[in-house]
Amino acid sequence: MRGFIISEHYDRLTQFYGDMVKWIAEGRIKWKETIVAGLENAPAALIGLFKGDNLGKMIVKVGN
C-alpha cells in the first residue's frame, strides 16, 4: 500500500476537477449516501453514524 499527500499534487487540481466533472456526467463515478430527514432526527443519525448504520456519507436534510 502506498499513500500520498494531497498538498504535493495541487498542480494537478484543475485537471482533476475537469476529469471529475466529466466522469460524473458520464455516470462513471457513483457514490452512496444515507439521508435522514429532519433536524429532530439528527441525534439518532449521529448515533447511527457511530454504529455503522449509514452507507457512505450521513446527511441530515433540514428544510424543504
* Per-residue pLDDT reduced to its tens digit, 11-22: 999 999 999 999
pLDDT of 42 higher than 90: yes
Backbone φ/ψ region at 38: left (φ over 0), alpha (ψ -120 to 50), beta:
left
pLDDT of 50 higher than 90: yes
Q: How many angstroms separate the Cα of 33 from the Cα of each of 7, 14, 17, 24, 60? A: 27, 26, 21, 16, 11
Instruction: List CB contacts of 55: < 8 A, sequence separation 6 or more.
Output: 32, 33, 34
